[in-house]
Amino acid sequence: MKRIGLLVALHKPGVSQSARQLVDLLESLGVEVTMTNEVANLLDRRGGVTVDELTKTDVLVALGGDGCVLSAARLAAPKNVPILGIRVGGFGFLTEVEIDNVEEVFRKILAGEFCLDERMMLQAELWQGESLVWSAIGLNDVVVLKSPVSPLPNWEVSLNDELLARYPADGVAIATPTGSTAYTLSAGGPILAPDVDAFLLMPMYAHTLTLRPLVLSSKAKIKVKLLPQRRNVEGEISVDGQVNCRVLPIHQITVFKAPYKAQIVRLQGSSFYERLRQKLRWGERQ
């Protein structure tokens, strides 16, 4: 591991100090650090690159929180570059390392004492007739919701071209096992272990008691349509809560397993179930 890309959540309080600490450490260990122009300016350094060039490295480090890891996954997965999340404040379910422990962690990583945790990703496409309007990949989820000013809409959901249901609701979410501990968890969905080869289909605040979350094969192709009404309705599709596009009744949304996998650097001995206990206080009584 000779070259590391650094993606920084610049909005995080105190992140500049953490970034400077990390860069100094890595360079003292003989590692070349590639950073964006914005980060280079923040640290009073020269030689910044574009975001896309960060993936011309051995590992892409996401310094911030889970949102930074999600951004890194969309960049790195198509290039088959592993990512390592380092937490600076916040919750940090996906981040592997605390900023205070980076020296010990990188000495282990440079010694080869780590493994790669492969995570499934989703791809969302927005179609208007035969024309592809918009596309994005994500590590966590694809969420389609009505706009705040729209009346309650009806949604049509199909699986592998077979009608599943039409129902009134705020929307629908499709999550990977990684995303099952994020937005869909707060909406009452189940948690899927990371190695389960499946999707979670979650109606979002449906106005019916007959709908429940569905666990689907990762081979499924899910189609979602916003049905027209007398009053104008519109919605929005959001991938990982970061990449968004407007949705109208003239559109059809297709969601399926992406051709890429995110590779997350994990230290030997750390586990998903340990994070459940620590981060979500799994099984504890309040």
Mean pLDDT value of segment 48-65: 94
Gap between the Cα atoms of 44 and 42, Å rounded: 6
Judge if 3-112 and 121-259 fold alike in CATH terms: no
E strands, the chain, are 3-8, 32-35, 59-64, 83-87, 97-98, 114-128, 131-138, 141-146, 154-159, 162-175, 198-206, 214-217, 222-226, 235-239, 243-247, 252-267
Give the model's pLDDT for residue 82: 97
Which residue intervals of the chain are DSSP H helices? 15-28, 37-42, 66-76, 102-110, 183-186, 272-279
For residue 268, is pLDDT > 80?
no
Mean pLDDT value of segment 203-213: 88
Mean pLDDT value of segment 157-181: 95
Active site residues: 66
Mean pLDDT check: name the lowest of 218-222, 253-257, 265-269: 265-269
Looking at CATH, the fold of the domain delimited by 3-112 is given as Rossmann fold (3.40.50)
Give the model's pLDDT for residue 36: 94
Task: Report pLDDT digits (tens) over 114-151.
Answer: 999 999 999 999 999 999 999 999 999 999 999 988 89
With 0.85 as the threshold, say if the pTM is over it: yes
Please provide the average confidence, as pLDDT, over all residues in the chain. 92
Task: Report pLDDT digits (tens) over 65-89.
Answer: 999 999 999 999 999 999 999 998 7
**Rounded to the nearest 5 degrees, what angle is found at the Cα of 101, between the Cα atoms of 97 and 102?**
75
Task: Report pLDDT digits (tens) over 234-245.
Answer: 999 999 999 999
Using alpha carbons, select from 222, 238, 239, 245 the residue that is nearest to residue 155.
Answer: 222
Sequence ranges of the domains in the chain: 3-112, 121-259
pLDDT tier, 187 (very low <50, low <70, confident <90, very high otherwise): confident
Gap between the Cα atoms of 40 and 64, Å rounded: 16
C-alpha distances out from residue 12 to 9, 52, 89, 241, Å? 6, 22, 8, 17
Looking at CATH, the fold of the domain delimited by 121-259 is given as Tumour Suppressor Smad4 (2.60.200)
Give the model's pLDDT for residue 222: 98
